[in-house]
Chains A and B, each alone.
Chain A
Protein backbone atom coordinates (compact mmCIF):
# COMPACT_ATOMS: atom_id res chain seq x y z
CA UNK A 1 0.00 0.00 0.00
CA UNK A 2 2.80 2.37 0.95
CA UNK A 3 4.44 1.69 -2.42
CA UNK A 4 1.31 2.68 -4.34
CA UNK A 5 0.92 5.88 -2.32
CA UNK A 6 4.50 6.94 -2.99
CA UNK A 7 4.35 6.18 -6.73
CA UNK A 8 1.05 8.01 -7.09
CA UNK A 9 2.38 11.06 -5.31
CA UNK A 10 5.50 11.14 -7.48
CA UNK A 11 3.50 10.81 -10.69
CA UNK A 12 1.09 13.51 -9.54
CA UNK A 13 3.94 15.89 -8.71
CA UNK A 14 5.68 15.25 -12.05
CA UNK A 15 2.52 15.87 -14.09
CA UNK A 16 1.71 18.97 -12.00
CA UNK A 17 5.13 20.48 -12.72
CA UNK A 18 4.76 19.61 -16.40
CA UNK A 19 1.33 21.27 -16.58
CA UNK A 20 2.58 24.41 -14.84
CA UNK A 21 5.52 24.68 -17.23
CA UNK A 22 3.33 24.21 -20.30
CA UNK A 23 0.71 26.64 -19.03
CA UNK A 24 3.31 29.35 -18.57
CA UNK A 25 4.88 28.75 -22.00
CA UNK A 26 1.40 28.91 -23.52
CA UNK A 27 0.63 32.17 -21.71
CA UNK A 28 3.90 33.67 -22.94
CA UNK A 29 3.32 32.79 -26.59
CA UNK A 30 -0.45 32.96 -27.05
CA UNK A 31 -0.57 36.63 -28.04
CA UNK A 32 2.08 36.13 -30.67
CA UNK A 33 0.34 33.05 -32.09
CA UNK A 34 -2.98 34.93 -32.24
CA UNK A 35 -1.23 37.85 -33.94
CA UNK A 36 0.31 35.52 -36.56
CA UNK A 37 -3.11 33.97 -37.19
CA UNK A 38 -4.75 37.34 -37.83
CA UNK A 39 -1.85 38.40 -40.07
CA UNK A 40 -2.29 35.22 -42.04
CA UNK A 41 -5.99 35.94 -42.50
CA UNK A 42 -5.26 39.51 -43.58
CA UNK A 43 -2.65 38.37 -46.11
CA UNK A 44 -4.99 35.69 -47.43
CA UNK A 45 -7.76 38.27 -47.93
CA UNK A 46 -5.37 40.49 -49.88
CA UNK A 47 -4.49 37.53 -52.11
CA UNK A 48 -8.02 36.30 -52.81
CA UNK A 49 -9.53 39.77 -53.31
CA UNK A 50 -6.74 41.73 -55.03
CA UNK A 51 -7.40 45.47 -55.05
CA UNK A 52 -10.56 45.20 -52.99
CA UNK A 53 -11.32 46.84 -49.65
CA UNK A 54 -13.20 44.81 -47.08
CA UNK A 55 -16.43 46.58 -46.18
CA UNK A 56 -18.11 44.01 -44.02
CA UNK A 57 -17.46 40.79 -42.15
CA UNK A 58 -20.65 38.74 -42.01
CA UNK A 59 -21.66 35.53 -40.31
CA UNK A 60 -23.63 32.82 -42.07
CA UNK A 61 -26.41 30.91 -40.25
CA UNK A 62 -23.96 28.11 -39.29
CA UNK A 63 -21.75 30.79 -37.65
CA UNK A 64 -19.00 30.58 -40.29
CA UNK A 65 -17.52 33.90 -41.34
CA UNK A 66 -17.39 35.45 -44.78
CA UNK A 67 -16.26 38.80 -46.09
CA UNK A 68 -17.83 41.32 -48.44
CA UNK A 69 -15.53 43.69 -50.28
CA UNK A 70 -15.80 46.48 -52.83
CA UNK A 71 -13.66 47.87 -55.60
CA UNK A 72 -14.13 50.75 -58.03
CA UNK A 73 -13.83 49.62 -61.62
CA UNK A 74 -12.25 51.78 -64.35
CA UNK A 75 -15.57 53.28 -65.40
CA UNK A 76 -16.52 54.24 -61.88
CA UNK A 77 -18.80 51.33 -61.09
CA UNK A 78 -18.60 49.58 -57.76
CA UNK A 79 -17.77 45.89 -58.04
CA UNK A 80 -18.57 43.61 -55.17
CA UNK A 81 -16.32 40.76 -54.14
CA UNK A 82 -16.82 37.98 -51.63
CA UNK A 83 -14.37 35.83 -49.72
CA UNK A 84 -15.15 32.72 -47.72
CA UNK A 85 -13.39 29.71 -46.20
CA UNK A 86 -14.03 26.12 -47.20
CA UNK A 87 -12.64 22.74 -46.15
CA UNK A 88 -12.13 19.33 -47.74
CA UNK A 89 -10.07 16.27 -46.85
CA UNK A 90 -6.82 15.91 -48.73
CA UNK A 91 -4.33 13.06 -48.87
CA UNK A 92 -3.43 13.42 -45.19
CA UNK A 93 -5.77 15.62 -43.23
CA UNK A 94 -7.98 18.61 -43.79
CA UNK A 95 -7.21 21.28 -46.35
CA UNK A 96 -8.62 24.72 -45.54
CA UNK A 97 -8.68 27.35 -48.20
CA UNK A 98 -9.99 30.85 -48.62
CA UNK A 99 -11.68 31.65 -51.92
CA UNK A 100 -12.42 35.06 -53.37
CA UNK A 101 -15.10 35.50 -56.06
CA UNK A 102 -16.97 38.36 -57.69
CA UNK A 103 -20.76 38.61 -58.14
CA UNK A 104 -20.68 36.42 -61.27
CA UNK A 105 -18.80 33.69 -59.36
CA UNK A 106 -15.54 34.23 -61.23
CA UNK A 107 -12.70 33.16 -58.97
CA UNK A 108 -10.48 36.13 -58.14
CA UNK A 109 -7.98 34.13 -56.13
CA UNK A 110 -7.54 31.30 -53.68
CA UNK A 111 -5.25 30.93 -50.70
CA UNK A 112 -4.55 27.69 -48.88
CA UNK A 113 -4.68 28.47 -45.17
CA UNK A 114 -3.93 25.05 -43.78
CA UNK A 115 -2.75 21.73 -45.20
CA UNK A 116 -0.75 18.73 -44.01
CA UNK A 117 0.08 17.17 -47.36
CA UNK A 118 3.27 15.24 -48.18
CA UNK A 119 6.32 17.52 -48.39
CA UNK A 120 7.70 17.59 -51.92
CA UNK A 121 4.39 16.39 -53.38
CA UNK A 122 1.05 17.74 -52.14
CA UNK A 123 2.73 20.41 -50.03
CA UNK A 124 4.01 21.96 -53.25
CA UNK A 125 0.55 23.50 -53.51
CA UNK A 126 1.75 26.17 -51.08
CA UNK A 127 5.38 26.37 -52.22
CA UNK A 128 6.67 29.33 -54.12
CA UNK A 129 9.15 28.18 -56.74
CA UNK A 130 12.20 30.43 -56.61
CA UNK A 131 13.28 31.64 -60.01
CA UNK A 132 16.87 31.77 -58.85
CA UNK A 133 19.22 28.80 -58.75
CA UNK A 134 21.35 27.73 -55.80
CA UNK A 135 24.44 29.16 -57.54
CA UNK A 136 22.78 32.57 -57.90
CA UNK A 137 22.25 32.60 -54.15
CA UNK A 138 25.86 31.61 -53.38
CA UNK A 139 27.33 34.15 -55.77
CA UNK A 140 24.92 36.77 -54.46
CA UNK A 141 23.24 37.57 -57.78
CA UNK A 142 19.80 36.63 -56.41
CA UNK A 143 17.72 39.62 -55.44
CA UNK A 144 14.71 39.80 -53.19
CA UNK A 145 11.81 38.19 -54.99
CA UNK A 146 9.10 40.06 -53.14
CA UNK A 147 5.60 38.76 -52.61
CA UNK A 148 4.74 35.98 -55.00
CA UNK A 149 2.01 33.42 -55.22
CA UNK A 150 2.56 29.66 -55.57
CA UNK A 151 1.87 28.69 -59.20
CA UNK A 152 -0.68 26.15 -58.13
CA UNK A 153 -2.87 28.75 -56.45
CA UNK A 154 -2.27 31.35 -59.14
CA UNK A 155 -3.82 29.22 -61.90
CA UNK A 156 -7.25 29.39 -60.26
CA UNK A 157 -7.49 33.13 -60.88
CA UNK A 158 -10.17 34.10 -63.42
CA UNK A 159 -11.61 30.59 -63.66
CA UNK A 160 -15.38 30.37 -63.65
CA UNK A 161 -16.82 29.12 -60.41
CA UNK A 162 -20.26 28.37 -61.85
CA UNK A 163 -18.86 25.74 -64.25
CA UNK A 164 -17.07 22.60 -63.07
CA UNK A 165 -13.29 22.94 -62.87
CA UNK A 166 -11.46 20.09 -64.61
CA UNK A 167 -7.98 18.79 -63.85
CA UNK A 168 -5.38 18.16 -66.54
CA UNK A 169 -1.92 16.64 -66.14
CA UNK A 170 0.43 19.04 -67.81
CA UNK A 171 3.12 19.30 -65.17
CA UNK A 172 4.14 22.56 -63.53
CA UNK A 173 2.11 25.56 -64.59
CA UNK A 174 3.75 28.21 -66.72
CA UNK A 175 2.63 31.33 -68.52
CA UNK A 176 2.47 29.50 -71.90
CA UNK A 177 -0.31 27.18 -70.84
CA UNK A 178 -2.26 29.87 -68.97
CA UNK A 179 -4.61 30.84 -71.83
CA UNK A 180 -5.42 27.29 -72.81
CA UNK A 181 -6.21 26.30 -69.21
CA UNK A 182 -8.40 29.35 -68.73
CA UNK A 183 -10.40 28.61 -71.89
CA UNK A 184 -11.13 25.05 -70.81
CA UNK A 185 -11.77 26.10 -67.18
CA UNK A 186 -9.13 23.67 -65.95
CA UNK A 187 -6.07 23.56 -63.71
CA UNK A 188 -2.81 21.65 -64.06
CA UNK A 189 -2.35 19.02 -61.33
CA UNK A 190 0.75 18.86 -59.15
CA UNK A 191 2.89 15.98 -60.42
CA UNK A 192 2.46 12.98 -58.11
CA UNK A 193 -0.22 14.70 -56.05
CA UNK A 194 -3.45 14.27 -57.97
CA UNK A 195 -5.35 13.58 -54.74
CA UNK A 196 -4.26 16.93 -53.30
CA UNK A 197 -5.23 18.71 -56.51
CA UNK A 198 -8.65 17.04 -56.52
CA UNK A 199 -9.15 17.89 -52.85
CA UNK A 200 -8.45 21.56 -53.44
CA UNK A 201 -10.83 21.66 -56.42
CA UNK A 202 -13.47 19.88 -54.30
CA UNK A 203 -12.86 22.38 -51.51
CA UNK A 204 -13.48 25.28 -53.88
CA UNK A 205 -16.58 23.75 -55.46
CA UNK A 206 -18.02 22.89 -52.06
CA UNK A 207 -17.50 26.44 -50.88
CA UNK A 208 -19.05 27.89 -54.03
CA UNK A 209 -22.10 25.65 -53.65
CA UNK A 210 -22.53 26.76 -50.10
CA UNK A 211 -22.19 30.48 -50.76
CA UNK A 212 -23.61 30.93 -54.26
CA UNK A 213 -27.10 31.57 -52.87
CA UNK A 214 -25.81 34.33 -50.59
CA UNK A 215 -23.78 35.93 -53.37
CA UNK A 216 -26.68 35.88 -55.83
CA UNK A 217 -28.93 37.79 -53.46
Chain B
Protein backbone atom coordinates (compact mmCIF):
# COMPACT_ATOMS: atom_id res chain seq x y z
CA UNK B 1 0.00 0.00 0.00
CA UNK B 2 1.79 3.12 -1.19
CA UNK B 3 0.98 6.65 -0.05
CA UNK B 4 0.99 7.92 -3.63
CA UNK B 5 -1.44 5.26 -4.79
CA UNK B 6 -3.86 5.87 -1.88
CA UNK B 7 -3.82 9.60 -2.53
CA UNK B 8 -4.30 9.54 -6.29
CA UNK B 9 -7.02 6.89 -6.31
CA UNK B 10 -9.41 9.55 -4.97
CA UNK B 11 -8.58 11.87 -7.85
CA UNK B 12 -8.90 9.42 -10.75
CA UNK B 13 -9.56 5.68 -10.36
CA UNK B 14 -11.99 5.98 -7.45
CA UNK B 15 -13.09 9.59 -7.88
CA UNK B 16 -16.17 9.80 -5.61
CA UNK B 17 -18.39 11.70 -8.04
CA UNK B 18 -17.14 10.54 -11.43
CA UNK B 19 -16.46 6.85 -10.73
CA UNK B 20 -18.17 5.80 -7.50
CA UNK B 21 -21.17 8.03 -8.14
CA UNK B 22 -21.49 9.24 -4.52
CA UNK B 23 -21.78 12.75 -3.15
CA UNK B 24 -23.90 13.67 -6.17
CA UNK B 25 -26.38 15.81 -4.25
CA UNK B 26 -23.90 18.57 -3.29
CA UNK B 27 -22.12 18.11 -6.64
CA UNK B 28 -25.30 19.12 -8.46
CA UNK B 29 -26.58 21.63 -5.95
CA UNK B 30 -23.73 23.92 -4.96
CA UNK B 31 -21.93 24.09 -8.30
CA UNK B 32 -23.63 27.29 -9.45
CA UNK B 33 -20.42 29.19 -8.79
CA UNK B 34 -16.73 28.31 -8.57
CA UNK B 35 -16.34 29.95 -5.17
CA UNK B 36 -19.21 27.86 -3.76
CA UNK B 37 -17.53 24.71 -5.14
CA UNK B 38 -14.18 25.63 -3.60
CA UNK B 39 -15.73 26.33 -0.18
CA UNK B 40 -17.63 23.06 -0.40
CA UNK B 41 -14.35 21.27 -1.17
CA UNK B 42 -12.72 22.87 1.87
CA UNK B 43 -15.62 22.09 4.22
CA UNK B 44 -16.05 18.51 3.02
CA UNK B 45 -12.33 17.73 3.04
CA UNK B 46 -12.03 19.08 6.58
CA UNK B 47 -14.94 16.96 7.83
CA UNK B 48 -13.70 13.89 5.93
CA UNK B 49 -10.15 14.19 7.27
CA UNK B 50 -11.26 14.72 10.88
CA UNK B 51 -13.77 11.89 10.78
CA UNK B 52 -11.28 9.52 9.12
CA UNK B 53 -8.69 10.28 11.83
CA UNK B 54 -11.16 9.69 14.66
CA UNK B 55 -12.74 6.59 13.16
CA UNK B 56 -9.30 5.12 12.58
CA UNK B 57 -8.34 5.84 16.21
CA UNK B 58 -11.44 4.31 17.78
CA UNK B 59 -11.91 1.42 15.34
CA UNK B 60 -10.75 -1.23 17.83
CA UNK B 61 -12.81 -0.17 20.83
CA UNK B 62 -16.17 0.25 19.07
CA UNK B 63 -18.31 -2.92 18.94
CA UNK B 64 -19.32 -3.73 15.35
CA UNK B 65 -23.06 -3.37 15.87
CA UNK B 66 -22.92 0.21 17.20
CA UNK B 67 -20.29 1.46 14.76
CA UNK B 68 -22.74 3.25 12.44
CA UNK B 69 -24.28 5.48 15.17
CA UNK B 70 -20.78 6.24 16.46
CA UNK B 71 -19.53 7.17 12.97
CA UNK B 72 -22.57 9.36 12.37
CA UNK B 73 -22.07 11.13 15.71
CA UNK B 74 -18.42 11.81 14.86
CA UNK B 75 -19.30 13.13 11.38
CA UNK B 76 -22.22 15.24 12.63
CA UNK B 77 -20.02 16.79 15.33
CA UNK B 78 -17.42 17.99 12.82
CA UNK B 79 -20.10 19.22 10.43
CA UNK B 80 -21.64 21.29 13.22
CA UNK B 81 -18.19 22.68 14.07
CA UNK B 82 -17.76 23.74 10.42
CA UNK B 83 -21.24 25.25 10.41
CA UNK B 84 -20.69 27.34 13.56
CA UNK B 85 -17.22 28.50 12.51
CA UNK B 86 -18.43 29.54 9.04
CA UNK B 87 -21.37 31.38 10.58
CA UNK B 88 -19.05 33.31 12.86
CA UNK B 89 -16.18 34.05 10.50
CA UNK B 90 -17.46 33.66 6.92
CA UNK B 91 -21.12 34.69 7.14
CA UNK B 92 -21.35 35.22 3.37
CA UNK B 93 -20.18 31.70 2.59
CA UNK B 94 -22.54 30.41 5.26
CA UNK B 95 -25.47 32.15 3.57
CA UNK B 96 -24.59 31.11 0.04
CA UNK B 97 -24.00 27.42 0.82
CA UNK B 98 -27.05 27.43 3.10
CA UNK B 99 -28.60 24.05 3.76
CA UNK B 100 -25.73 22.18 2.06
CA UNK B 101 -23.39 22.73 5.01
CA UNK B 102 -25.51 20.71 7.49
CA UNK B 103 -26.21 18.23 4.68
CA UNK B 104 -22.51 17.25 4.59
CA UNK B 105 -23.56 14.87 7.38
CA UNK B 106 -25.48 12.75 4.89
CA UNK B 107 -22.86 12.94 2.14
CA UNK B 108 -22.40 9.19 1.70
CA UNK B 109 -18.80 9.77 0.63
CA UNK B 110 -17.87 10.53 4.26
CA UNK B 111 -19.66 7.60 5.88
CA UNK B 112 -18.44 5.45 2.98
CA UNK B 113 -14.78 6.29 3.64
CA UNK B 114 -15.22 5.72 7.39
CA UNK B 115 -16.75 2.32 6.75
CA UNK B 116 -14.62 1.19 3.83
CA UNK B 117 -11.24 2.68 4.66
CA UNK B 118 -10.71 4.37 8.02
CA UNK B 119 -12.19 1.52 10.07
CA UNK B 120 -9.70 -0.89 8.49
CA UNK B 121 -6.53 1.18 8.21
CA UNK B 122 -4.11 3.21 10.32
CA UNK B 123 -4.35 6.91 11.06
CA UNK B 124 -1.75 8.10 8.56
CA UNK B 125 -3.19 6.18 5.62
CA UNK B 126 -6.68 7.36 6.59
CA UNK B 127 -5.53 10.98 6.36
CA UNK B 128 -3.99 10.34 2.93
CA UNK B 129 -7.20 8.65 1.80
CA UNK B 130 -9.35 11.53 3.10
CA UNK B 131 -7.22 14.18 1.41
CA UNK B 132 -7.25 12.33 -1.91
CA UNK B 133 -10.99 11.71 -1.80
CA UNK B 134 -11.78 15.25 -0.63
CA UNK B 135 -9.66 16.87 -3.30
CA UNK B 136 -10.97 14.50 -5.98
CA UNK B 137 -14.52 15.40 -4.95
CA UNK B 138 -13.71 19.12 -4.84
CA UNK B 139 -11.92 19.22 -8.20
CA UNK B 140 -14.89 17.56 -9.89
CA UNK B 141 -17.18 20.16 -8.30
CA UNK B 142 -14.88 22.98 -9.38
CA UNK B 143 -14.77 21.83 -13.03
CA UNK B 144 -18.56 21.40 -13.02
CA UNK B 145 -19.01 24.83 -11.43
CA UNK B 146 -16.61 26.40 -13.92
CA UNK B 147 -18.78 25.35 -16.88
CA UNK B 148 -22.02 26.22 -15.11
CA UNK B 149 -20.89 29.64 -13.94
CA UNK B 150 -19.26 30.72 -17.19
CA UNK B 151 -22.03 29.42 -19.49
CA UNK B 152 -25.01 29.90 -17.17
CA UNK B 153 -24.26 33.27 -15.64
CA UNK B 154 -21.49 34.61 -17.92
CA UNK B 155 -19.44 35.09 -14.78
CA UNK B 156 -16.35 33.78 -13.02
CA UNK B 157 -15.89 34.32 -9.26
CA UNK B 158 -18.90 36.64 -9.49
CA UNK B 159 -17.44 38.92 -12.16
CA UNK B 160 -18.88 39.28 -15.65
CA UNK B 161 -16.83 37.66 -18.43
CA UNK B 162 -18.21 39.13 -21.65
CA UNK B 163 -20.24 42.33 -21.14
CA UNK B 164 -23.61 42.26 -22.86
CA UNK B 165 -23.60 38.54 -23.58
CA UNK B 166 -26.87 36.77 -22.73
CA UNK B 167 -26.00 33.58 -20.77
CA UNK B 168 -27.81 30.23 -21.07
CA UNK B 169 -29.98 30.31 -17.96
CA UNK B 170 -30.60 26.55 -18.08
CA UNK B 171 -27.03 25.97 -16.89
CA UNK B 172 -27.76 27.54 -13.49
CA UNK B 173 -30.66 25.19 -12.75
CA UNK B 174 -30.75 21.44 -12.11
CA UNK B 175 -31.07 20.26 -15.76
CA UNK B 176 -27.92 22.18 -16.67
CA UNK B 177 -26.09 20.49 -13.80
CA UNK B 178 -27.20 17.01 -14.93
CA UNK B 179 -26.27 17.66 -18.57
CA UNK B 180 -22.84 19.04 -17.66
CA UNK B 181 -22.12 16.17 -15.27
CA UNK B 182 -23.23 13.70 -17.95
CA UNK B 183 -20.86 15.21 -20.50
CA UNK B 184 -18.04 15.18 -17.95
CA UNK B 185 -18.68 11.48 -17.19
CA UNK B 186 -18.67 10.74 -20.91
CA UNK B 187 -15.36 12.56 -21.41
CA UNK B 188 -13.78 10.88 -18.39
CA UNK B 189 -14.95 7.40 -19.38
CA UNK B 190 -13.76 7.72 -22.97
CA UNK B 191 -10.32 8.88 -21.75
CA UNK B 192 -10.14 6.00 -19.28
CA UNK B 193 -11.14 3.35 -21.86
CA UNK B 194 -8.73 4.61 -24.51
CA UNK B 195 -5.96 4.61 -21.88
CA UNK B 196 -6.68 0.98 -20.99
CA UNK B 197 -6.49 -0.14 -24.64
CA UNK B 198 -2.93 1.09 -25.10
**Residues of A with Cβ closer than 8 Å to B?**
3, 6-7, 10-11, 14-15, 18, 21-22, 25-26, 29, 32-33, 36, 116, 118-121, 123, 129-130, 132-137, 142, 191-192
A120 in contact with B33 (CB, 8 Å)? yes
**In whole Å, how far is B29's beta carbon from the nearest beta carbon of chain A?**
8
A-B residue pairs, 10 tightest by C-beta: A120-B172, A29-B88, A134-B159, A18-B77, A120-B32, A119-B32, A7-B66, A32-B88, A133-B160, A134-B156
Instruction: Let me know if B61 and A14 touch, CB within 8 A.
Output: no
Report the bound CA distance from A21 to B80 in whole Å: 10
CB < 8 Å: which of A25, A36, A133 contacts B81? Answer: A25
Q: Which residue of B lies closest to A8 (CB)?
A: B66
Question: Contact at A15–B73, with CB atoms within 8 Å?
Answer: yes
- Contacts A18-B74, A21-B77, A123-B96 known; A134 to B157 CB distance under 8 Å? yes
A-B contact count (CB 8 A): 89
User: In the assembled complex, which residues on chain B have CB atoms less than 8 Å from the CB atom of A7?
Assistant: 63, 65-66
Is B74 touching A33 in the complex (CB atoms < 8 A)? Answer: no
B152-178 with Cβ < 8 A to chain A? 152-153, 155-163, 169, 172-173
Most buried by A among B70, B76, B169: B70
Contact of B84 among A15, A25, A191 (CB under 8 A): A25
Residues of A within 8 A of B172 (CB): 119-121, 192
**14 intermolecular pairs with C-beta atoms under 8 Å apart:** A6-B63, A10-B61, A10-B63, A18-B76, A29-B87, A32-B89, A33-B88, A119-B33, A119-B36, A130-B160, A134-B160, A135-B161, A136-B159, A137-B159
> 7 new A-B pairs (CB below 8 Å) besides A11-B69, A119-B32?
A3-B63, A7-B66, A25-B85, A29-B85, A119-B30, A120-B153, A120-B173
CB closest chain-B residue, reference A119: B32
